[in-house]
Structure 1
């Protein structure tokens, strides 16, 4: 249904919604559950995204899990929605707990191999980049480094 909304209007709505949900999280302090994915290509480069809302920093893709959704299913679904290709050889890396804008956030971290051509949707995802682990962009979320450090060779 969201594909029926013109992309510029959709991006503006996402920015507005993101601001509202941050305020709500600070007031209500809900328990959030989500997933985050580390995608590596055949050359060992890490896929990072820049969202059309928020800080504009490069980050790992991820998103909210639906109520009762299996974490691995949520990771595959979110990856497909945001990146437009598959994430093969998906494996669980860690379960992380932290505070996000005042809310408790549980994040299921997964890693896998990029299968296909990543494409930004131009709505939620403004840009996709593939970076060698030793040459990540300086304008990145602080969670990128801590989550990449959890990967075991």
Structure 2
């Protein structure tokens, strides 16, 4: 199954790069009552890297709806107090992506689906994994006031 997800991920990346399709996506900084942040690891692509939960915005849905849907799909968590944080431009992997970043709260225990997401769990902000994606690291540094936002994902 993983080889199929990797093949689809690579094909989608190449198609978006070739056709220069503009896409919209969301990422969510989800915090539990202890102030820990939810991070996920995918089963495809760079599966060693931890990311904020998120994904694509469907043509008919709002960024807020996509944030709720993606977090529920990837980690089984429902969100409370969803707030917009910032909007970023992502040119990674040949994309032209607008990423809407949100913050939210959740009291749910995350559960990885085992298909798209290998691991989903909360981490203390002072004990983050060494293998954060660069964009996730930048967003968390901005959240902690250790870095100024620059508008790029």
Tell me the TM-score normalised to structure 2 length: 0.88
Unaligned 5+ residue runs, structure 2?
Answer: 146-153
How does 1:1-150 map onto structure 2 within 5 Å?
9=1, 11-56=2-47, 57-150=49-142
Pair 1:152–1:71, CA change in 2 (3 A): farther
Deviation, structure 1 residue 152: 7.1
In 2, Cα distance between the equivalents of 1:134 and 1:22?
33
Tell me the TM-score normalised to structure 1 length: 0.88
In 2, Cα distance between the equivalents of 1:47 and 1:37?
9
Secondary structure of the residue that 1:129 maps to in structure 2? strand
Provide the aligned C-alpha RMSD in A.
1.5
In 2, Cα distance between the equivalents of 1:69 and 1:112?
18
Aligned to 1:4: none
